[in-house]
Structure 1
Amino acid sequence: MRALFLFFLIATSALSLQTAPENEKPYVWPLTINNGISSTFQEFRSNHFHAGIDLRTFRQTGFPVLAVAAGVIERISMSDRGYGRSLHLRHTDGRYSLYGHLEKFREDIEAQVTQVQKKRGKKYFGTWTLPVPLAVRRGEVIAFSGESGSGFPHLHLEIRNQFGQAINPLSLIGNLHPDEHEPLLKGILLRSRGPSLINDDCGEFYFKLRNNGMLYTLAEPLTVTGPFDLSLHAIDLSDVGHVVAPYSLQAFLDGAPVFQVDFDRLTRDDNNQLGMLYDMAYSTSGAYFINLSYQSGFDLEKTRVRLAERLRQMSPGPHQIKIIVKDRQQNQALALIPLRMVIGNDSSRLQKKYPVRKTDSGIMQRTEFSTYVNQDDVVIKIKDLPVPATMLKLKIIQGDREQVVAAHEYAGGSYFCFKPLNHDPRLQLRFELSDGQQRVEESQKTLHPVLLIKEFAQVVRFHDFVAEFGSTSVLESKVLLFEQVDLKAEFPLLAGPIKLGPDHFAFLDAVFFKFKIPAGEVRREQLGIFKYSFESKKWHYIATQPDYDPGYMKCRVLTAGIFALLRDIDPPAIIFQKPESRHLQSLKRLVVHVSDRGKGIDERTVAVFLNGQIVDAEYDPDWKHILIKDLKHLQRGKNRLLVRANDHGGNKSEKTYTFSIK
């Protein structure tokens, strides 16, 4: 009994040591000002989770940055990208904090920075460990806020534990400013699974949520015949009303928990779950579509309940999904989503009536076909075909296998649902219309599917396009469809465009896309793989490199979409901004806007000459401008400013600007 008591005492003490700092919230706000939070922990980024919080600084620089807790400054970093000037502070509790995008460090550290710059002969020398760590107290000034590295003026705060896990800073800071804004729920995105129907249709559907006081409900009734995937469109508002991501989400089906995520901590490997948590087709930094469905490898989700399986087991009749969304200060929003499960014969449920008529020749050729894919199911929809589903059948032929698929009915026509039979990249569809006794008409269609399964690597070729899928690209069976599409591009099109769908498909790891280089191409530095954005209606460059096969260019990808090999032939655009003052004594800087719509500015080539003398200037890709503060060669009267810049395609620009100063 005594041994058991001692074990309990030791275990309780260990637990209190682990949780007490978080419960007591021993850290302090890292700025002497409060302009609110612009980004929270675990927010969506295009290829990773945000591992800290971003604090607004009135779009200005130079505010004192404070140590969030006592500790020692161990190292600093000087980079022109990423976190820019950053500082690492090791705390007495074993955690460490990182402060990014600083304008400058405190004076004793700045003196050491100057020495290292002289010794290494470069301004941005990377990471440097202080010979003697500097002890600091909680709340002591350690640096000043800035806009170095990536982004506009702000402070990035990141806290990690001794295991390297990122911890939500809002869980540790005790003097947070009050936040009275509850999360806002915009709508839900449903994708049918298998042959299921959602309001008598199959595919992807968005339903708006309306706010009745503190409760969100659907603006229209919801009827389903089977399982579906669910994404919640939600945002939170920070203490100053800025759009950020919520902190926690819970979902319940008929009172039973089916989903829970709390944005508490992250490891670097958790970035592979980005496409599991966020819908990759619609999520942006500021618009969050959060998948409320568990799948294999989704370790951030706590219930391990598969929503689709629970929905598949539901009995006919009324049911309810409850969703609770909270921010870190426990403001919450509640949504109650009533739905009705209907099971039965498609025709009797839809109560369709068809005219008594003979099937006319050519009706199948005039019919509109569309394809919908979710998980490993393929759905072919036939719209406005005025015949019952009993008169239709589909034979799928893939490699040496074939299968006959029965038709179902939905409100707009008929549809077929099937899974690929094997890994053959060519799948033939043969639609047959019969009058019950004999075949009346036939139509054919070809699909190019890729069946991805766990621990199976494969290479797929489609025209001049090659996709390499590693064995860790998926953890559950998924289907992708390849399709050649017709899209215009602002640059010469060399290969593609190739569409891979569905758009929300996210890979876990090790996926490369390659395009064959046309014969005779000599300026290969101009070539790049671009992805089309439906939101901006533009092509965006993806980091591209020559493949080990010299006839191809390749890139690494995280999501499906539309891709093409383009040649960037446009030089950068250089536009001079009018001087902020015409007086020599009051002019503090010159600004030149430099942009490129292709492969981007090669910052190594940016050069600025003022009155024939080269001056110190840096290109900021976020603002897309060169900020010139080195004005020692400025003179009264006429001045001549010359700017040179190349893009990564080797296209060159040079422009001169003449102006007068009093």
Structure 2
Amino acid sequence: MGSNHPIEFPHISGSFGEYRSGGRFHHGLDYKTFNRNGIPIKAVQDMTVARLYTSEIGYGNGLVLASADGRHFTYGHMHDFVGRHPGLEYLRLALFLMHPTNRASVNLPAYFPFKKGDIIGRSGESGSGAPHLHFEVGSGGYFRSPLEDPERAILDFTAPTLLRLHTRTRSFPLKRVDRKYTQAGHTIDYYTLDGTRALPSADYRIGTYDTMAALNRNGVHGIRFYALDAKSLSPELYKSIPEELEQSPLYKMELDGIATSELRTADRYYDPEKTAIGDEYVYYLYDSLKRNRKELDTGVYLVEVLDSSGNRSRLLFQIGEATQADLTSEKPEHPPEEQASTEEEDPLLKEANVSFRTLNPYAGASFSYSGEGMNLTIQIPGGNQRGQARARILDKKWIRAIPPASEGLESPREIRAFVFDARDLVLSGYMYISGQIEKRHPDEELYLWNPSSGKWNWVGKPYQETDTRAFYRLRLKRGGVFAILRDTGAPVIYPSFAWQRPEDDLVHQSNEENPIRMLQYDIYDKESWVDRKSTAVFLDGVPLRFEWAGDRSLLRIRVPEKWLNQEGSYLSIQIDDLAGNPARPFFDVLLPSE
């Protein structure tokens, strides 16, 4: 393993180039700090501070350092700048006092040089996200993977994990059937469909993740898609495939670098509807901007997924004499001549005589639905759409069967729903949904069906709400079936499984005379969201102050040890969700330290 990492004992919790919400690329590495603040951060080479950030969002407390070879290195989410140059921390504090909103970005002259290995500050959780260190390397308008430097190579011999082969409306589970090792010791895993079948031609995607020698599920480094010179799968075929394929791939995507202008174009390579960040990253096996894609011929195809260390996983599957009905739960109602060359029928929708609107690249468009107490508009901002697409609004009568409500949700007797049916829509940002719905029950909310997870997803919190109406202005990254459901599930409270870190461990906020105990609790409501205004915390019946950790569902409570009874004290938490459902009573017993 390379030793030139910005922190000791590096564990990667976010990879370079992986998908982030809003169609963004993650253009750096995230180093795990195991829920601790105050870990020393090092300079990775001789360089000088060029810019200082201090903010409650984005990089938080961050530094950009420039080296003599023209590269710049960005460190984000730091706790402070306590290191070789104390003046940097004094400057940060001064900017904090001068800017009440705590948002400043300042270009600095070359007053603060660092040698390789010098301490530049301490890790934290400023800005957004849990405690971790964000680290970028850039040059000439491009961001490069920090792992390209051999001094930062990760000792990793684990191949990416392949989960599913996706189409637009179906998913096929995969299973590993073989493993080989290269002469350099790297791993090549082989996968096939979980069940022998020949698939029809379609626009396929691959669902995968890579652990990068850690526990987190990260994105991968590259994808390649090949047509093999074989007519069927066989054990001999697996044995005959060389380490390196000499033929040219049908499609190739490798994230070696990302231009500044491309930071919001991740939707070109990832399927945002199916990607679940931190769980499964779903990549296209074709150029999403290229229309009129050629049908896949009968034969055997290979998908190769690469990580940053030389390991790879390969999926072999067969295209045969199958029909479009093999891709859907019901036989399509469209006559074959009306179907697009690689378009599958959505099994949730009936044949509709409602025309699609053609959406030209970067033009922008809006679609409105009004009916059953709903007045909603979906807007695609100009400049966000890449490539040509089609879309339409369908009312409830064109839905074959509305998916049932999952646990914690309840369908009204007469469910209200509509469809935003979008095809080939690739965005470099978000769509937006705005308008209002009539609430026939106080706990009704707007939900969007997720065909990949088979669950209803809460669209988001209304900006204004009464017992009879909810007003929305929210971001969307996909279309589908929208419905109004009742939220009957309650929030869940449990102690954080991350390390409970005493505040006097690395970042001192207490002393030996007045020790303070830090407590953290995860509060989760999968049906909507917790109502933070309803939060109440009590210690032996006395109200206690608390704080929410940024935009996360982490509740933090600081309890001075001197407040605890010798026999122990009871901590209780009360909270509701946005639909007014209260969490079950939660109590924690706090015993004084010896």
TM-score, with length taken from structure 2: 0.69
Q: 1:165-201, CA deviations, whole angstroms, 9 ceiling, x for partnerless residues?
A: 322111135242422223333443345xxxxxxxxxx
Question: For residues 51-62 of structure 1, what are the structure 2 equivalents within 5 Å?
Answer: 51-62=27-38
Instruction: Determine helix, strand or coil for the equivalent of 1:234.
Output: strand
Q: Are 1:624 and 2:554 an aligned pair?
A: yes
Tell me if structure 1 keeps the 8 A contact 2:48–2:110: no
Q: Which residue of 2 aligns with 1:433?
A: none
Q: Are 1:49 and 2:41 an aligned pair?
A: no
Give the direction of change, closer, same or farther, for the CA distance of 1:105–1:536 in structure 2 (3 Å limit): farther
The structure 2 residue matched to 1:296, chosen from 283, 289, 302, is 289
Alpha-carbon distance in structure 2 between the residues aligned to 1:155 and 1:278: 25
Give the direction of change, closer, same or farther, for the CA distance of 1:149–1:642 in structure 2 (3 Å limit): farther
Please identify, of 113-122 and 324-333, the stretch whose mean Cα deviation from structure 2 is larger: 113-122
Q: Which residue of 2 aligns with 1:212?
A: 178
Instruction: Determine helix, strand or coil for the equivalent of 1:542.
Output: coil
Question: For residues 605-624 of structure 1, what are the structure 2 equivalents within 5 Å?
Answer: 617=547, 619-622=549-552, 624=554
Question: For residues 477-516 of structure 1, what are the structure 2 equivalents within 5 Å?
Answer: 477-479=389-391, 482-484=394-396, 485=402, 488=405, 490=409, 496-501=416-421, 506-509=426-429, 511-516=431-436
Alpha-carbon distance in structure 2 between the residues aligned to 1:205 and 1:486: 17
The structure 2 residue matched to 1:98, chosen from 74, 87, 111, is 74
Q: 1:425-464, CA deviations, whole angstroms, 9 ceiling, x for partnerless residues?
A: xxx98xxxxxxxxxxxxxxx65656434215634343522
Alpha-carbon distance in structure 2 between the residues aligned to 1:209 and 1:371: 20
Q: Which residue of 2 aligns with 1:283?
A: 275
Q: Which residue of 1 aligns with 2:377?
A: 466
Tell me if structure 2 keeps the 8 A contact 1:533–1:540: no
Shift of 1:480: 5.0
Shift of 1:217: 5.2
Please identify, of 563-572 and 503-512, the stretch whose mean Cα deviation from structure 2 is larger: 563-572
Please identify, of 448-457 and 38-47, the stretch whose mean Cα deviation from structure 2 is larger: 448-457
Q: Which residue of 2 aligns with 1:142?
A: 120
The structure 1 residue matched to 2:294, chosen from 293, 297, 309, is 309
Shift of 1:30: 1.0
Alpha-carbon distance in structure 1 between the residues aligned to 2:436 and 2:580: 21
Question: For residues 198-277 of structure 1, what are the structure 2 equivalents within 5 Å?
Answer: 204-206=170-172, 208-214=174-180, 216=190, 218-219=192-193, 223=198, 227-240=201-214, 242-254=216-228, 255-267=247-259, 269-277=261-269
Shift of 1:154: 2.5
User: Which amino acid in the other structure matches residue 553 of structure 1?
Assistant: Y
Alpha-carbon distance in structure 2 between the residues aligned to 1:81 and 1:495: 39
Q: What RMSD in Å do the two structures reach over aligned CA positions?
A: 5.1
Tell me if structure 2 keeps the 8 A contact 1:544–1:553: yes
Q: Are 1:113 and 2:79 an aligned pair?
A: no
Q: Are 1:68 and 2:68 an aligned pair?
A: no
Q: Which residue of 2 aligns with 1:189?
A: 166
Tell me if structure 1 keeps the 8 A contact 2:51–2:65: yes
Alpha-carbon distance in structure 2 between the residues aligned to 1:538 and 1:217: 30
Shift of 1:256: 4.1
Q: Which residue of 1 aligns with 2:236?
A: none
Alpha-carbon distance in structure 2 between the residues aligned to 1:78 and 1:655: 37
User: Which amino acid in the other structure matches residue 212 of structure 1?
Assistant: D
Q: 1:224-279, CA deviations, whole angstroms, 9 ceiling, x for partnerless residues?
A: 66x42121233333134653222122222244421111112224553553333222
Tell me if structure 1 keeps the 8 A contact 2:164–2:171: no
Instruction: Report which of the two structures shows the higher radius of gyration computed on alpha carbons.
Output: 1
User: Which amino acid in the other structure matches residue 172 of structure 2?
Assistant: Y
User: Which amino acid in the other structure matches residue 254 of structure 2?
Assistant: D
Query: Structure 2: 5+ residue runs without aligned partners?
Result: 181-188, 229-246, 341-348, 397-401, 503-511
Alpha-carbon distance in structure 2 between the residues aligned to 1:613 and 1:217: 56
Alpha-carbon distance in structure 2 between the residues aligned to 1:459 and 1:623: 33
The structure 2 residue matched to 1:542, chosen from 434, 457, 460, is 460
Shift of 1:136: 1.0
Alpha-carbon distance in structure 2 between the residues aligned to 1:120 and 1:46: 29
Alpha-carbon distance in structure 2 between the residues aligned to 1:486 and 1:330: 42
Identical aligned residues as a percent: 18
User: Which amino acid in the other structure matches residue 319 of structure 1?
Assistant: G
Give the direction of change, closer, same or farther, for the CA distance of 1:83–1:504 in structure 2 (3 Å limit): farther
Q: Which residue of 2 aligns with 1:588?
A: 516
Please identify, of 326-335 and 215-224, the stretch whose mean Cα deviation from structure 2 is larger: 215-224
Tell me if structure 2 keeps the 8 A contact 1:323–1:335: yes
Give the direction of change, closer, same or farther, for the CA distance of 1:573–1:292 in structure 2 (3 Å limit): closer
Tell me if structure 2 keeps the 8 A contact 1:101–1:147: yes
Please identify, of 134-143 and 595-604, the stretch whose mean Cα deviation from structure 2 is larger: 595-604
